Amino acid sequence: NLTSLYLAVDDVVTYYLEIFDNDFISGPKSTKTNSFTVRVPSLDEILADADEIHSQTELELEETLKEAEELKNMLEEIDQELKKDEQELTWEEKEKISDALEKFKELQEKVENINDQLSEMRQNLQENNLLSEETLEKYLELQDLMDQLTGEEMKKAMEQMQQLLQKMNRDLTQNAMENLKFDEERFKKSIERTLNLLKRIQVEQKVDELIKRTEELSKEQKSLQGQTEQSDLSDKNKQDELSSRQEDISNELQRMEEEMQKLKDKMSELEDMPMEEMEKLMEEFSKQQNEKLSEEASENMKQQQQEMAMQNQQQLQSNMNQMSEMMMQMQSEMNQKNQVQTFTDMMRILDNLISLSKEQEELKEESQNLDPNSSSLNKLAQEQSKLSENLKNILRQMADLSQKTFAISPEMGEALGKANQKMQMSLQSMQNRNGSFSAIQQGEAMKHLNEAALMMKSSMEGMMQSGGQGGMMSLMQQLQQMSGQQMKLNNMTQMLKQMQQGNLSPQQQGQLQRLGQQQELIRKSMEQLNQETKLSGHSKKLPGDLDNILKRMQEVITDMNTQKLDDELIQKQENILSKMLDAQRSINERDFEKKRESRTGETVLRDSPYELNLSSEDATNKIRDELNRAVREGYTKDYEELIIKYYESLQEDGSGN
């Protein structure tokens, strides 16, 4: 941790590690590592690296999309060959399938590598405060989407196909091939969506970058103006130093103009971008003639024209403040416009889903009691076919919208995919003159339509409640709040346990019961979060062992209600908190290494701390300070009483009572 060194741009730190053994007979011996160097990068270097990673990522995703299309054609060809009237696979067919599986695996690994690069870039920008909260949110959403591209479902489908290849059974392999084709098509579409969303995030990140550049320029110009005012420009060394810094600002202004043009070019490739505002921004920057002002200020200093230099510097600083405000205004309008357009499109899709569900329900009512010989079956089959076409139109609308926003979740698409499947089965049943079975499938289709509509509605409500900022950031905030509540509860339980002497007193039993009620409130909040994410189609963002956390919470509640206060209860609560913190890390830290490093056990020798002396005046004062601090934390009355009794018991122990 180099924070205490207060390093600035281009500062360099060289360090090494030296390790000593514990040979106290002949004397400790040591060994050193090689020296390592750390240099603080400039803002330009950080942003240039981000641009490079963005460009490389875009190229790799486009290449992956092209390869996925080739894989699709390969699977189609294999699928046609599998339809031959033979019982077993041929050796050539088996080899082709193995090659296709290997190709699919390579594409997934490619996506994982791309995700790792994006994660490292995002973390670097985040650590240097170069991302707005909205852009950070979208990077996290993008990484979540890419995680799903290499998820367990696809890996299981590939493993199943590998196992079936060993059996050489044509029918089973053909069925598995249909699943693999579906997974590959979904993979391809997700790559396309990821690429389009990445382009939009690049625009938003570029706006963040330009805002940061104007702020840094304004700050640097203000600092330089202050030094110009206090300096003697007849001092040649000082004059050269200040003039050189002003020339650096001129160079940065030129880079800024270039970056603005890059942003405009990226915006022109996308729909729904505020091109008019961007053009006004560039026109204003051109009118300000900032490079000329900076060059004149530099020349003024060389000519020892201090007042003129300061006037130009002041004007330049004012211009940068104005540009920063205009950029933030454009950013706000862009976000607002996107949110309004997304919400409007989602409203239209939701309305279509509800109408389609009602029409499907009406058709189901007509179908379920029809006689197989009824002439109405043909008419109803035509109506079902129309509903199926309407659903395909909705799917196209959702697919188009999903290229622009993360509000359309994969779960929504899955629900509509199931609805489409049930509609096709219903249509087939009608053609077979089986109205009752057709009605069952229509009911299932209606159920999946309603599921998708509920997810859509929940996602829209989340957008309204959080001003368009739902998703990963909202999950993080809720988990952080609940983790804080759990931490306080754990502390209260431990205090009560330490005060316990034999059986609990009636007062302590009441306190334990109230702690159980508090645990129940946290459990309900966690359960509600779990349900809301499932309803909105974002359940995959939460860790898989959330159900286990809820189960542990219920065990703790049961123990507290039965007056069971022991080390096992304390351990359960610690485990709950640990899992909740892990859940936060799994959402936010996507660049953590998934493997744990194994290490052989070793003996560690160290001095143990001295026994805690509670009888000293320092300890008494410390206890009193901690007590006052704890009460100021704002606990409930019951908790305050528990804290006070706990610290009183510490003081009694210290005085020997």
Q: Residue 480's pLDDT is what?
A: 75
Could you tell me if 548 and 512 are in contact, meaning their C-beta atoms sit under 8 angstroms apart? no
By the 10 Å C-beta count (0-12 exposed, 13-18 middle, 19+ buried), 550 is classed as: middle
Could you tell me if 150 and 108 are in contact, meaning their C-beta atoms sit under 8 angstroms apart? yes
Element (H, E) at 117: helix 91-127
Q: Residue 263's pLDDT is what?
A: 93
Could you tell me if 272 and 405 are in contact, meaning their C-beta atoms sit under 8 angstroms apart? no
Q: Which residues contact 201 (CB under 8 A, 6 or more apart)?
A: 135, 138, 139, 142
pLDDT mean for each 10 residues of the chain (657 residues): 71 88 82 87 84 90 92 89 78 88 90 90 85 83 82 75 77 81 86 91 92 92 92 89 92 94 92 88 94 94 92 94 91 82 87 93 87 84 93 93 88 90 91 87 93 87 60 64 83 83 82 86 82 62 70 90 88 85 64 39 41 54 58 53 58 54
Q: Residue 126's pLDDT is what?
A: 85
Amino acid identity, position 35: S
Number of folded domains that form the chain = 2
Cα 423 from Cα 447, distance rounded (Å): 11
DSSP character string of 120-167: HHHHHHHHTT-S-HHHHHHHHHHHHHHHHHT-HHHHHHHHHHHHHHHH
Cα 379 from Cα 636, distance rounded (Å): 68
Cα 557 from Cα 564, distance rounded (Å): 10
Domain boundary among 541, 567, 593: 593
What radius of gyration, in Å, describes the C-alpha atoms of the chain? 33
Taking CA 596 as the corner, what is the angle to CA 594 and CA 599, rounded to the nearest 5 degrees? 165
Cα 225 from Cα 460, distance rounded (Å): 49
How far separated are the first and last CA of the chain, in Å rounded?
45
Domain boundary among 575, 593, 611: 593
Token pair of 80, please? 């046609």
Cα 528 from Cα 549, distance rounded (Å): 13
Q: Which residues contact 527 (CB under 8 A, 6 or more apart)?
A: 550
On whether residue 346 sits in a domain, the answer given is no
On whether residue 576 sits in a domain, the answer given is yes
On whether residue 105 sits in a domain, the answer given is no
Cα torsion angle, 626, 487, 483, 524, sign: negative
Could you tell me if 126 and 193 are in contact, meaning their C-beta atoms sit under 8 angstroms apart? no
DSSP character string of 11-50: -EEEE--EEE----SS---EEEPPPEEEEPPPHHHHHHHH
On whether residue 16 sits in a domain, the answer given is yes
CA atoms within 13 A on the CB side of 214: 23
Q: Which residues contact 443 (CB under 8 A, 6 or more apart)?
A: 364
On whether residue 12 sits in a domain, the answer given is yes
**Pairing state of beta strands 12-15 and 18-20?**
unpaired
- Give whole-number Cα distances, 98 to 93, 156, 159, 173, 640, in Å: 9, 15, 11, 12, 66
On whether residue 131 sits in a domain, the answer given is no
- Give whole-number Cα distances, 123 to 104, 119, 139, in Å: 29, 6, 10
Could you tell me if 196 and 404 are in contact, meaning their C-beta atoms sit under 8 angstroms apart? yes
- Give whole-number Cα distances, 109 to 57, 101, 279, 443, 581, in Å: 14, 12, 41, 40, 28
Q: Which residues contact 174 (CB under 8 A, 6 or more apart)?
A: 79, 82, 83
Q: Residue 468's pLDDT is what?
A: 46
Cα 527 from Cα 552, distance rounded (Å): 12
Q: Residue 634's pLDDT is what?
A: 52
Q: Residue 540's pLDDT is what?
A: 58
Could you tell me if 221 and 313 are in contact, meaning their C-beta atoms sit under 8 angstroms apart? yes
Please give the residue range of the domain that contains residue 547.
Answer: 471-593
Cα 379 from Cα 356, distance rounded (Å): 18
Q: Taking Cα atoms as reference points, which of 542, 581, 82 lies closest to residue 573?
A: 581
Per-residue pLDDT reduced to its tens digit, 490-503: 888 888 888 777 78
On whether residue 198 sits in a domain, the answer given is no
Could you tell me if 590 and 472 are in contact, meaning their C-beta atoms sit under 8 angstroms apart? no
Q: Residue 518's pLDDT is what?
A: 84
Per-residue pLDDT reduced to its tens digit, 239-298: 999 999 999 999 999 999 999 999 999 999 888 888 888 999 999 999 999 999 999 999
Question: Exposure string (b/e) for 463-496, b if CB count within 10 Å is 16 or more?
Answer: beeeebbbbbbbbbebbeebbebbebbbbbbebb
Could you tell me if 302 and 243 are in contact, meaning their C-beta atoms sit under 8 angstroms apart? yes
Q: Residue 646's pLDDT is what?
A: 56
Cα 460 from Cα 450, distance rounded (Å): 15
Q: Residue 359's pLDDT is what?
A: 94
Token pair of 445, please? 């289709």
pTM over 0.75: no
Cα torsion angle, 487, 489, 492, 497, sign: negative
On whether residue 558 sits in a domain, the answer given is yes
Q: Residue 506's pLDDT is what?
A: 83
Cα 580 from Cα 482, distance rounded (Å): 8
Q: Residue 599's pLDDT is what?
A: 40
